[in-house]
A and B are shown apart, each in its own frame.
Chain A
Amino acid sequence: MAEAVDYKIIGERPVRPDGVDKVTGRAQYGADLSLPNTLIGSVLRSPHAHARIKSIDVTAALSMQGVYAAITSEDFASPDGEVGGEAAGSASDLAKNVMATDKVLYHGHAVAAIAASTKEIADLALDAIVVEYDVLEPVLDIDEAMKDTAPLLDPDCYTQNLPEKAEKPSNIASVMQLSGGNLEEGFAAADIIVEGEYNIPMAHQGYIEPHACTATVNEAGQATVWCCTQGHFEFRSMTAALLGMNIADLKFIASEIGGGFGGKTVVYLEPVAVLLSKIAGRPVKMTMSREEVFRATGPTSGTHCKVKVGAKKDGTLTAASAWLAYEAGAFAGAPMGPGAMCIFAPYKLENFFVEAFDVLVNKPKVAAYRAPGAPQSAHAMEIALDDLARELEMDPIDLRLKNAVQEGDQATYGPKFPRIGFKECLEAAKNHPNYKTALEEGTGRGVSAGFWFNVGMQSSAEVHVNENGTVTLVEGNPDIGGSRASMCIMASETLGIEYESIRAMIGDTESTGFSNVTGGSRTTFATGMAVVQACEDIIAQCKARAAVTWGVDEDQVEWQDGQAIPAPGVNADVKPLSLADIASQAHKTGGPLLGRASLNAQGPGPSFAVNICDLKVDQETGKVDVTAFTAIQDAGKAIHPDYVEGQMQGGTSQGLGWALNEEYIFDANGVMENAGFLDYRIPVASDLPMIDCHIVEVPNPTHPFGVRGVGETPIVTPLAAAANAVRDATGVRINDLPLSPPKILEALDGND
């Protein structure tokens, strides 16, 4: 378990510095900005899921009074190469997703945009745009899409990573394999083998705040963009690439953000708003409706998975194989890689084989969603393990403990594990009171486990010491889950000053150094590391200022509890100098104190989670009520436990929504039939019990305070935990999600 470290504030739960503005409505979100003379931008979207664009005529729209600009893909640059960061992929595909070129590839695909003086005029102008389509057969089913006979979304798409170069185009954009040992021998050594086939439909991140931005371009071609984003630096890069602009001519300012979960790591509106503003010569504001969010922004992949697992009678796993097909949507880039790398990662497994597919279908292009790809594959594996435990009549946690990886074990995705806390999580689950509580009649209990890598990446931070010794932190990561508070805590601990003396702000792209997105569970780890280093820079400067003040050498000064003191043995008759003392005299000792750090953080430290789910199934209606849920996760070290628990509860809620209700429902023409929160049902507070959180702390040795990322792992586990609990409650195994009332009733009826 964790080493005991006597921190002063790390691990405490102070009030977040941005809380008051957020609960009183003062905080400014993406759609809140109002500039004089702002025009409203609107997007014309495809009524077809798959069609060739024969022509687009915006003449009539442009002639309408109050319309200032109309654009199509012809107004964009033709970027090549790749865009980096979290949304890494083909710049050409990104451009085509923002505005369709020769084909529309999903219902809701953008084909043109208008800037007008009012929303009403903009919508009328959209109606006046004439688009001629040659309608094509949509490809909506992943299994059908993989067949040689399927209509092609992209005739230039040849499957990548095949042993031999593909000779004809396919909807399978790429494949990957992972293997180890000898699968045949592994299964031959098994006393028992379980296998299953699992389907999960496409689901949305479900952030409450729709995409929104305002752009203004001046006569010199310099643009300023306000938007809700997980990463304004990467939005700047993407917009520059899509419009052929110089990055130096683009300034991005991140608003507060009402949820992202990976879905706000990629541009949709921003390049359109810049282009419209450039043409119109006035600011342009664009806000998506909820319907547009569903139809045209990044859901996560629907999947079809097959898993086979072999084990000895004592529960030792001998072999496992997986076949994983992930929907990419309209363009390549499904998260099948992490899905394949995560599926067996929690377990010691010598003999394994994983094959994964990135498959084009006429649905929205998928975007990242918390631990992209992992929940779907973990759902399959963790159900298979539950079946195995039942066959072996073994406690499901004991089965996982018997096979759990620990430090030094070879991960199925390649390297040996560094220090990890999976066994500690499993033991915490086994010993948790909620696992020992007797179940009420009609209630079932399910267990599952999950893994996520976490990432580091680039971050920057500056520490400005004000003349009274208070501190302003500037960082480049939008605060989605309470990171301002975590940054202030780490600065407080490092500098040795009061938490309340520190304020954190999110700098725009011109006022702080480059930072990758707030995503990948990286911000508290990587940006926190930058904040700590920037504070250490301040401490070094303060020691130098104290040395000058006292007339001693710098190495004769130490920093302790927020003040400079003479080092042990130094014979100096001086009083300690606090940060406030040094700051107040900074004008005499060299000028203002400014610390800074920028880094590419490495060694993020993997994270594991275990869930215990209790639920009741109404035998007459098929409705599932979750009665108790326990989330256990290794956080390395919880800087602010409220926000670690917030991530655990948030990820769990989303995972349970995905497990029980959420799904994209398409008609035969590829039109989403439930593009609103009434019909696409995410869980609300009254749907769920209080989610009990148990934070395990096995420090990550590469972070100064032992932090591991915590934002993504919580969604990996609830899908299977719920499925296993439904199995326990009903005696019927349902391999497909969501576990909605009709599906459960059908399964119960079939069982009768």
Chain B
Amino acid sequence: MAKVIFPDHLLPFVGGNREINIEAKRYRELVEILETRWPGCGIELEKCAVAIDSQIYQDAFLEDLLSESEVFFVRKIEGG
């Protein structure tokens, strides 16, 4: 199961859970499961970038998840 970690600003949208484990094969499926569990959180997740196994994705969608994957939601990065 993938380990999913939420930053402070997302905790109100995911029941206050800092860390959960979810069975999902792809990022899209993971978000669907989270939205089912906490309706409305998907909009907030969409505003985030996500780090999957150390690589940051600004626009994740179809990325594969492994059973030991670590998924961190982080604020989207801007640059100059």
A interface residues, Cβ below 8 angstroms from B: 86, 88, 161, 163, 176-179, 205, 260-263, 265, 335, 337-338, 341, 367-372, 413-418, 453-457, 519-522, 600, 602-604, 702, 712
| A86 contact set on B, CB distance < 8 A | 78-80
Query: A177-B8, A414-B7 known; A338 and B78 CB under 8 Å?
Result: yes
Give me 4 other A-B pairs in contact (C-beta within 8 A), A414-B74, A520-B77 excluded.
Answer: A163-B12, A179-B8, A416-B70, A519-B80
Cβ B59 vs Cβ A600 within 8 A: yes
A337 to B59, CA, bound (A): 18
Within 8 A of A (CB), among B23-80: 51, 54-59, 70, 72-80
Cβ B75 vs Cβ A520 within 8 A: no
| A265 contact set on B, CB distance < 8 A | 80
| A604 contact set on B, CB distance < 8 A | 56
Cβ A262 vs Cβ B79 within 8 A: yes
Interface flag for B5 (CB, 8 Å): yes
Cβ A603 vs Cβ B55 within 8 A: yes
A370 to B70, CA, bound (A): 30
| B57 contact set on A, CB distance < 8 A | 602
Cβ B75 vs Cβ A337 within 8 A: yes
Write the chain A residue with the least CB distance to B71.
Answer: A415
CB distance from A456 to the nearest CB of B (A): 7
| A414 contact set on B, CB distance < 8 A | 5, 7, 51, 72-74
| A371 contact set on B, CB distance < 8 A | 79-80
- 18 inter-chain pairs at a CB distance below 8 angstroms, sorted by A residue, are A86-B79, A161-B9, A260-B80, A261-B80, A338-B75, A368-B79, A368-B80, A371-B79, A414-B5, A414-B74, A418-B55, A455-B58, A455-B79, A456-B58, A457-B58, A522-B79, A603-B56, A702-B55
A369 to B9, CA, bound (A): 25
Q: For the complex, would chain B's binding face be called helix, strand, loop or mixed by DSSP majority?
A: mixed
CB distance from A309 to the nearest CB of B (A): 20
Cβ A372 vs Cβ B80 within 8 A: yes
A417 to B70, CA, bound (A): 12
CB distance from B11 to the nearest CB of A (A): 9
Write the chain B residue with the least CB distance to A415.
Answer: B51
Query: A414-B74, A415-B74, A702-B55 known; A176 and B9 CB under 8 Å?
Result: yes
CB distance from B55 to the nearest CB of A (A): 4
Q: Which of B12, B56, B78 contacts A372 (CB 8 A)?
A: B78
B interface residues, Cβ below 8 angstroms from A: 5, 7-9, 12, 51, 54-59, 70, 72-80
| A177 contact set on B, CB distance < 8 A | 8-9
| B9 contact set on A, CB distance < 8 A | 161, 176-177
Query: A416-B54, A418-B54, A602-B55 known; A712 and B75 CB under 8 Å?
Result: no
A161 to B8, CA, bound (A): 9
Cβ A372 vs Cβ B70 within 8 A: no
A602 to B56, CA, bound (A): 7
A341 to B78, CA, bound (A): 12
Closest 5 CB pairs of A and B: A262-B80, A520-B79, A415-B51, A368-B80, A414-B72
Cβ B8 vs Cβ A338 within 8 A: no
Cβ A455 vs Cβ B77 within 8 A: yes
Cβ B8 vs Cβ A453 within 8 A: no
Cβ A370 vs Cβ B78 within 8 A: no
| A417 contact set on B, CB distance < 8 A | 54
| B80 contact set on A, CB distance < 8 A | 86, 205, 260-263, 265, 367-372, 519-520, 712
| B58 contact set on A, CB distance < 8 A | 455-457, 600, 602
| B12 contact set on A, CB distance < 8 A | 163
Instruction: Identify the interface centre among B56, B70, B79: most chain A CB within 10 Å of its CB.
Output: B79
Cβ A521 vs Cβ B79 within 8 A: yes
A260 to B76, CA, bound (A): 21
A163 to B12, CA, bound (A): 7
Write the chain A residue with the least CB distance to B63.
Answer: A602
Cβ B8 vs Cβ A520 within 8 A: no
| A453 contact set on B, CB distance < 8 A | 56, 77, 79
| A205 contact set on B, CB distance < 8 A | 80
Write the chain A residue with the least CB distance to B75.
Answer: A337
A391 to B16, CA, bound (A): 40
Write the chain B residue with the least CB distance to A161.
Answer: B9
Query: A176-B8, A414-B73, A416-B70 known; A368 and B78 CB under 8 Å?
Result: yes
A418 to B59, CA, bound (A): 18
A161 to B54, CA, bound (A): 26
A319 to B79, CA, bound (A): 28
Query: A177-B9, A178-B8, A418-B54 known; A413 and B74 CB under 8 Å?
Result: yes
Instruction: Identify the interface centre among B5, B58, B59: most chain A CB within 10 Å of its CB.
Output: B58
| B74 contact set on A, CB distance < 8 A | 341, 413-415
A468 to B69, CA, bound (A): 50
Cβ B77 vs Cβ A415 within 8 A: no
A262 to B78, CA, bound (A): 10
CB distance from A643 to the nearest CB of B (A): 17
CB distance from B75 to the nearest CB of A (A): 4
Query: A176-B9, A418-B55 known; A519 and B73 CB under 8 Å?
Result: no
